[in-house]
Structure 1
Amino acid sequence: MRISRNLYLSLSACAAAIAIAGISPAAAQEAAPQSQPTAAEDEGNDDIVVTARRSDERAQDVPISLTVLSQDTIRAKGINSATDLQNFTPSLTVMGDVRRNQETYTIRGLGGSGGAGTGSGPGVVGYFAEVPTIASGPGNFYDLASLQVLKGPQGTLFGRNTTGGAVLLEPTRPKMNVVEGYADLTIGNYNRRGGQGALNIPIVDDVLAIRVAGQFDKRDGYVRDVVTGVDYLNRNNFSLRFGMQFNPSDSISSYTAVNYIDVDEHGGGSILLSVRPGSTYAPLLQPYLAQQEARGPRETALSTPTFEKAKTFLALNNTEFRLSDTLTFTNIFSYARTRSTAATDRDSTPLPIADLLGAFPGSYNNNLRTITEEVRIHYDDGRFSVQAGGFFLTEKSLEPLTFLTRNPLQAGGILGGGPIILPPALQTALGVNGPLLPAINVQPDASVYGQSRALYGQVQYKLTPNLTATAGFRWTWDKFGGTITSYQDPASYQVFNQLAALGVVTPAQAAQVIGLNADLCVYDAFKAVAAGGFPTLKYPNCTKPSFNGRSDGPTWQLGLDWRADSNTLIYAVSRRGYKSGANNPIVTLFLGDSYPLAAVRPEKVTDFEIGVKRDWTFGDVRARTNIAAFYTAFDDVQVIQRAAIAGADILANAQKARVVGVEAEFLVMPSKWVTLGATYSYNDAQYLDYTTIAIPAIPSALTAAQPSRDLSSTPFTFVAKHKFSLDARVGIPIAESAGDLSVRATYSWQSRQRVASDPQPLDTIAPYGLLNLRVEWNGMFGSSLDAAVFGTNVLDKEYRVTANTGYNNSGFANSIYGEPAQYGVQLRYRF
């Protein structure tokens, strides 16, 4: 028997814990099976509540462009990651580097980020339960109340400011007075085994309820290493989620959530695509390129056993105090800990040319603690509404961040004259595999920190019952920085003793190279040579170079929306977006703080958007059309300049740019048996004024002079000019008592996508389309059991999903390919 409100308020926490353990099977049976809307009802998204304006409302009532998906739609369309999400969201692109799970959102050409300590920040922010956090990668897209993608600058209502948009994951919150849940199992090819489930448990009538959910996904990889047999791009992750809803009175509502994600996968099976003739390693790489082209994109050969390991923990509390019928105070607090390490093979060959080996054993490449605090007050009397608040974010590395990288050993060490290339006989004599000798660079201690503070407010006023004006303003203050230490592994240079024993070098030469390079402090050596001196500092007496910066700027919004009738919303909005400035530590180390590329200016964006949202009824036919057009102007847009220093890309500013675009979403239900949907976006993104800054030759960094280049009139990277998706669901007439049987086909297509700002071979991802098929039988024979047979990418299209465009810089380029054709069976039981 559940406990009444009055009795609960007089009990201790211990008694409440006893009540949790004492739920009887009879109590669970009192709740009726969870009702399941028909597929057509769900497609209409009529009941999806969104929080795009930090209050609950229908998506059709929000005067901005957004895409919203329910959990059932996510399931039906097979959306398991952000890469899947982009296929069904206008203007959204999700790209990664050679790490498959390092996904980056780009909306309307805006996105990307710097890194913790270097500033910049994300252009598109992911939110979980109104807390800015990591929302890409595996383990996020389950047991959601809604998934919302907001387009355009955000900030006058949100915790974190953005220039491109926001992706909101709203988990299903615990429900009072009902036991419900589901269990879902998926089995498929590539040894696919996946499952998810949730259980909602009421503890005290109208006062306390909890919800526990979990997910796991395992699958073999689809790219095989022909040397080691390792299957790259596999899936092996799980996540757990706990939610508690506590309503001690009619005026207080408190939601607490804990979310944990664990990823332990083999990493990306990158494919070598091109080699630049005349580059340093071209003669060695060309045979491997020929072998790779003969193998195709489902096999590779790497020198590094790549992997991706990550653990993410998030705890949050969102408490709302209803001070009166018109006034609400909200406090949102979160604590997050992210730890990850990864190994990548940057050259995608068996040669040790550019490899990240991961962190020290027991350590991490990334070990970041993030705390956020947001307070917000909301007044709404029906005609006048104002929301105002403050936001604070602080992040820092809790332990030293460590890195091990591998590059070819230089003839005289890192400051010597080029790589050592061994003839076959010498390879045999030394017992090494390949013509290059690997050298390890050790970073035993790096640290980062960042902080963001903001004050914001937004006012809505009904000029007439159907015409509403909106105005908002925000100011954000950011600071960031960090330190780094690096030295050369002494064991890498002991090979010179072997070379001396073989008579290749003299013992004196071997001793000189080892004495100079073993434990040599890398950045101190670079600085010494650049200043005309001689490197002498050895680990652990290295200096610890530091980098830091500050930035601040405004965000604003002006809008007008008109409810023409109960089914039509017309709106116009203009917004200013701000993204923090940044720094380039590598430029500071080699060229000093005063060099123009050391500091990166804040990104400033001003957009104008008009749109119409309309629901239609023609007899028994229902339809929906949502259309938006926009123009976005940029000043100092932050871009990656692929002219690198010491092998590292740098962040820079393009002076001016613009994006012109259109987004549309359509839905037609001609009958209860047929649902037709479509999305489309057009984005013409172009730099208007973009001249790169020249980089001088840096002998200590083995970097040649890189002249200034005029890239004006070139298109943005990571933006498809055209994207569309088509979705058709056809119900199969069967007896109503037998359930709901349907066939679904979904096709998504995008035009070519530039991935490098400077022209080079394969600088564009070719157009591609993906076809998914699904047969679904819900409520089988009147039960709570659903079954589906599905196929994704059924035409087995080969397409690229990442890009490492180093052709003009390092002399080679590579990529990761998307998932091949997959099929499987999915079962779900609802209760």
Structure 2
Amino acid sequence: MSKKNWLAAAAMGAILTGAPAMAQTTIAQPELAPRVRTYVIEAGAMKAALDAWARQSGRAILYRVDEIQSMRSPGVHGKLGEYAALEAIIAGSGLVIHRDPSGSIAVSRPNARANDAALVAETADAASQASASEATVMTDIVVTARRTAERAQRVPVAITAFSQDAIREKSINNGSDLQNFTPSLSVLGDVSRNQESYTIRGMGGSGGPGTGSGPGVVGYFAEVPSSASGPGNFYDLASLQILKGPQGTLFGRNTTGGAVLMEPERPKMDTVEGYIDATIGNFDRRGLQGAVNLPLVDNVLAIRLAGQMDKRDGYVRDVNTGRDYLNRNNYSLRLGVQFNPTERLRNYTAVNYLKVDEHGGGSILLAVNPARPYAALLQPYLAAQQARGVRQTALSVPTFERAKNLLVLNNTEWRVGDAVTVKNIVSYARTRSTSANDRDSTLLPIADLLGAYPGGWNNNLRTVTEELQVRYDRGPLRVQGGGFFLDQKTPAPLTFRTVNPMQVGGLLGGGPLIVPQALWSTLGLSGPLAPALSLQPSAHVDGRSKALYAQAQYEIAPNLTATVGYRWTWDRFGGDIQAYQDADSYQIFSKLAALGLVSPAQAAQVIGLNANLCVYDAFKAVAAGGFPTLKYPNCTSPTFNGKSDGATWQVGLDWRADPETLVYAVSRRGYKSGASNPIVSLFLGESHPLFAVRPEQVTDAEVGIKRDWSLDGVRARTNLSAFYTWYNDIQVIQRAAISGSDILTNAQRARVLGLEFEGMIIPVKGVTLGATYSYNSAKYLEYDTIAIPAIPQALTAAQPSRDLAGTPFSFVPKQKYSLSAAIALPIPAEAGRLDFTANWSHQSSQRVTPEAQPFDTIAAYGLLNLRLDWREVWGARLDLAVFATNVLDKTYRVTANPGYNNSGFAGSIFGEPAQYGVQLRYRY
């Protein structure tokens, strides 16, 4: 078989279980290549027999699941040619074999629609152009939204799916890029740029500063809960899927907003293949990725090794140090092993490693609250920043972000019989990260995180998951059920170093110690504030989650299927924390005494009280009317614990009106784990209403239609969904609520309503137009914040309850749309193919906090990306592309630090400027 036809067959294999409808064709059926093999295919379900033939023959085959789902095959045993074996498998079934000159193979019932023969040829043509731009063919990506492989157009769920080619062509490198092409998805970060927070249909977020909770949009890698944020994830994938709305029945807790599924390319048993892809561009961009697929034992063992590296200079520079922020410096490696010892047993093992070592976010100061303590000091810095613009900054901390992530998983699938399959998925993950950031975005030491202790980590989690799933699939009934277990803990203490302004009397003193400029050099200061270093030598968090679930699909009438699912989840979470005041920070009082500004006795008193003082023990002692005496290393470790549980469910109905039309209606319940606030337990006790955070509950109703069109040579696809969501006990963050720390609380009720559209049309050959649109109206119906009492020992003033009903959600653009156009440019056939694509994405303004304040809204913005692809350059296995992103060089915000009403300042990070480059890919 030629290399081109082999690529066609391999691509067709990706849609093995969901080809378009097909009928008998008049194309002559030449004999298959005379490859004789020994076939061992048991009698049983026709689908299982055809899949076994595909594996044992090494050929892809197209069929429609609904046409064959009730059929049985007599099987085949013996040494036969491929065609003879296939004829034996379908003997007596009434199925007909089709084959076109490219070698594409399909089976269908003879009474299928006559004009579907054209679809067979079109699908084969699309497969043979697997490396071509997705915008030039009407592709249908295989998805795993229901934990099994299906065509996206056949799944009654709102999904946006991308193949690896689409990811490459749209320059999707992280979540911020992904949101530009996904309806209802919004991705924002914090001061740490790589800590991206996904929100879908108004639900998601990153959880809170306490334990429990977590993001409301969960990433999955090869069916294992993982992280979809940050760099190094979106390469060598079979598909990238964004599922919208609650997904809790099959995917578990916390998927109240949806899920992001990353399905890696798995090793292929019968071909040596791979690619290498290099990118260079402005900002000294250097990128490299590649993969190699190696079969080791025929039809039994194969491996796939892939990796990527991305380096780029930052686009924000520190005017004092010259350090560039928002750079890229990361690499990752991935090993996949496919082991199929028998026809009924398939085993996939993957090891994924990621390392990030970047300079972090270059935050920009945007506003200063004149009513807050540091206003007079911050105003000159704000004026200087406004004069510099958003591509330069001046920070007191050389920020950075470092991470090492390891994931090892095993997915074993055992086909017990014709109708029963058992799957077991086990994983081990180790996630470590540390970062330094400057939240006040100035040279002043007001809110600075210096990162972990040397050699330590701010975040260090070991996570083990185990899931056992049983599937039954026979006739009109499909059932999936199983159990899930997650255990998470910190194998080593979490450490932090935080800098805040020195107080006049030390930790429990009055206002900030402000030093006249004439004394700065004498006291060794670079500004008017003396920094006080707080050290956290130890903290631990742990969590455990268990769940049982089941979901059934039943075809109650031809092409009419009902779905019912239920899941119950139990969560436990807790931890401990320890902190003390660095002794060296207080030596400034000795210098003040030497200058005669304070008496030696006063200096000795402040130093004696505060040096190495156990922070939380001191707060508790003062709250009880006592005097703080405990010093490090004799600090206690306050503990905090909590638990929650809840149900998720799904009921739905979908109707295949015709082979190209799917209509569905579904209602789902989502559950997000409860949480606790350690800072509340320290100052107010665990009985205070602010300590325990209730779990979220989300209930939605969604209707949708997925439709493919073909009329007079014009082909189109239109997918439309509309939804209404009831949202209760929404977990929200109250900024700097206690002792300058954020806390997680509950808003009572909210609603989200909206619609989504994804469409594509091919009006003439070589021209493809696409569009996406989403509308989301999300607002609180009842939101009374919990009042916070005055806490003298925490230097926290009383905060009354506030009524925020009617305010819009944060991080939810009301409208988003994207427009794309792809044109195949005329060049000689022997020169290859030349495609020009343009993508325009736009989103309306979005709030970043429900409280009114300056810069509480990210303004609307639009981005234009252009790309020119020259494929199969002069017949070689070489592709050359020239690309440009954010061509109009728009300035837009991608993070928010809305602390204006609390800490007294607001800042942000801005998105990437115009970039351009050249990409070269060699396939073998």
TM superposition score normalised by structure 1: 0.95
Alpha-carbon separation, structure 2, partners of 1:200 and 1:454? 36
Any conservation in 1 of the 2:502–2:532 contact (CA below 8 Å)? Answer: yes
Q: Please state whether the residue corresponding to 1:494 is helix, strand or coil.
A: helix
Q: Which aligned pairs between 1:226-265 and structure 2 lie closer than 5 A?
A: 226-265=319-358
Report what 1:681 is aligned to. 774
Q: Is the 8 A contact 2:136 2:822 kept in 1?
A: no
Deviation larger for 523-532 or 339-348: 523-532
156-165 vs 718-727, which moves further: 156-165
Correspondence 1:764 to 2:841: no
SS in 1 for 2:429: strand
- On the 8 A contact 1:42/1:72 being kept in 2, the answer is no
C-alpha contact 1:117 1:548 (8 A) present in aligned 2: no
Partner of 1:18: none
Moved more, 563-572 or 492-501: 492-501
Greater RCO (CA < 8 Å, at least 6 residues apart): 1
Q: Report what 1:397 is aligned to.
A: 490
Shift in Å, 1:418: 1.0
Q: Paired residue for 2:832, among 731, 739, 742?
A: 739
Task: Give the number of aligned pairs.
Answer: 801
Question: How big is the shift at 1:136?
Answer: 1.2
Task: Report the CA distance between 1:47 and its aligned residue.
Answer: 4.2
Which residue does 2:716 correspond to in 1? 623
Contact 1:117/1:480 (8 A) holds in 2: no
Instruction: Give the one of 178, 196, 206 matched to 1:113.
Output: 206
Taking the aligned partners of 1:177 and 1:717, their CA distance within structure 2 comes to 50
Q: Which residue of 2 aligns with 1:582?
A: 675
Q: Indicate whether 1:607 and 2:700 are aligned.
A: yes
1:431 deviates by 2.6
Partner of 1:375: 468
Quote the Cα distance in structure 2 between the aligned partners of 1:229 and 1:530.
Answer: 46
CA distance in structure 2 between the aligned counterparts of 1:574 and 1:323, rounded to whole angstroms: 33
Counterpart position of 1:470: 563
Q: Structure 2: which amino acid aligns with 1:357? A: L
User: Residues of 2 paired with 1:690 and 1:629: CA distance?
Assistant: 26
Helix, strand or coil at the partner of 1:700? helix
**Structure 1: where are the runs of 5+ without partners?**
7-33
Give 1:128's aligned residue: 221
Distance in 1 (alpha carbons) for counterparts of 2:378 and 2:514? 13
1:68 paired to 2:161: yes
The aligned residue for residue 172 of structure 2 is: 79
1:156 aligns with one of 237, 249, 273: 249
TM-score for the superposition, normalised by structure 2? 0.86
Contact 2:838 2:867 in 1 (8 A): yes
Contact 1:45–1:70 under 8 Å retained in 2: no
Q: Which residue is 1:14 aligned to?
A: none
Answer whether contact 1:132 1:159 (CA < 8 A) is retained.
Answer: no
Cα pair 2:573 2:642 within 8 Å, conserved = yes
**Alignment match of 1:336 (pick from 422, 429, 434):** 429
Residue among 210, 223, 235 paired with 1:142: 235
User: 1:46: Cα distance to partner?
Assistant: 2.8
State the distance in 2 between where 1:662 and 1:219 align.
38
Alignment counterpart, residue 298 of structure 2, candidates 196, 205, 210: 205
Give the counterpart of 2:584 among 474, 486, 491: 491
**Of residues 216, 223, 246 in structure 1, which corresponds to 2:309?**
216
1:228-273 CA-partner distances (Å, limit 9, x unpaired): 1100000000000000000000000000000000000000000000
Aligned to 1:354: 447
> Corresponding residue for 1:546?
639
* Structure 1 position 315 matched with structure 2 position 408: yes
Q: Aligned AA for 1:312?
A: N
Match of 1:20 in 2: none
Instruction: Write the distance in 2 (CA, Å) between the matches of 1:230 and 1:642.
Output: 30
In structure 1, what is the Cα distance between the partners aligned to 2:377 and 2:458?
30
**8 Å contact from structure 1 (residues 40, 669) kept in 2:** no
In structure 1, distance between residues paired with 2:137 and 2:792: 63
1:159–1:328 distance in 2 versus 1, CA, 3 Å: farther
After TM superposition, the structure 1 = structure 2 runs for residues 169-184 of structure 1, keeping only pairs within 5 Å, are: 169-184=262-277
Closer, same or farther in 2 for the Cα pair 1:645/1:45, shift >3 Å?
A: farther
Distance 1:156 1:62, change over 3 A: same
Q: Which residue among 648, 653, 661 is the counterpart of 2:754?
A: 661
Secondary structure at the aligned position of 2:251 is classed as coil
Deviation at 1:527, TM superposition (A): 1.3
Provide, for residues 556-593 of structure 1, a one-character-per-residue CA deviation record: whole Å limited to 9, x for no partner: 00000000000000000000011111111111111111
Secondary structure, counterpart of 1:156 in structure 2 = helix
Counterparts of 1:503 and 1:105 in 2: how far apart (Å)?
55
Aligned to 1:56: 149
**Per-residue deviation, 1:546:** 0.6
Provide Cα deviations, 1:306-350, integer angstroms capped at 9, x if missing partner: 000000000000000000111100000000001111000010000
Matched position secondary structure for 2:520: helix
Identity %: 71
Q: Hey, what's the Cα distance between the residues in 1 that align with 2:857 and 2:176? A: 18
Alignment of 1:520-539 (within 5 A): 520-539=613-632
Code of the aligned partner of 2:403: A
Map 1:420-819; keep pairs closer than 5 Å. 420-642=513-735, 644-819=737-912
3-state DSSP class of the match of 2:259? Answer: strand
Residue 354 of structure 2 aligns with an amino acid whose one-letter code is: I
- Corresponding letter in the other structure for 1:250: E
Distance change (3 Å), C-alpha of 1:43 and 1:100: farther
CA distance in 2, matches of 1:683, 1:250: 48
Cα offset, 1:37, TM superposition:
2.5
Measure, in 1, the Cα distance between the counterparts of 2:771 and 2:340.
Answer: 41
Following TM superposition, by how much is the alpha carbon of 1:113 offset from its aligned partner in structure 2, in angstroms? Answer: 3.3
CA distance in 1 between counterparts of 2:742 and 2:128 reads 53
For residues 670-691 of structure 1, what are the alpha-carbon distances to aligned partners after superposition, in whole Å with 9 as ceiling and x for unaligned? 1221111110000000100000
Note the C-alpha offset of 1:531. Answer: 2.0
SS at match of 2:808: coil
The verdict on how the C-alpha distance between 1:44 and 1:451 changes in structure 2, with shifts beyond 3 A counting, is farther
- CA–CA distance in 1 between the matches of 2:159 and 2:853? 35
Q: 1: distance between equivalents of 2:662 and 2:650?
A: 19
The structure with the larger Rg is 2
Distance 1:113 1:40 in 2: 35
Q: Give the letter aligned to residue 353 of structure 2.
A: Y
CA offset at residue 38 of structure 1? 6.0
Give 2:189's aligned residue. 96
Over 4 Å off, 4+ runs: 40-45
Secondary structure of the residue that 2:211 maps to in structure 1? Answer: coil
- The letter of the residue matching 1:749 is H
Q: Deviations over 1:736-794 (max 9, x none)?
A: 22111011110100000100111101100000000011111111111110011110001
Instruction: Report the AA paired with residue 514 of structure 1.
Output: I
Distance 2:840 2:504 in 1: 54
Q: Secondary structure of 2:853's match?
A: coil
Distance 1:643 1:83 in 2: 27
Give the conservation status (yes or no) of the 8 Å contact 2:133–2:835.
Answer: no
481-490 vs 697-706, which moves further? 697-706
- Tell me the CA shift for residue 278 of structure 1: 2.0
Structure 2 counterpart of 1:167, from 251, 256, 260: 260
User: Is the partner of 1:496 in helix, strand or coil?
Assistant: helix
Please give the per-residue CA displacement for 1:278-314, whole angstroms capped at 9, x wherever unaligned.
Answer: 2110000000000000101000000001000000000
Q: CA deviation at 1:45?
A: 5.5
Q: C-alpha deviations, 1:622-644, integer Å up to 9, x for none?
A: 10000000000011111112251
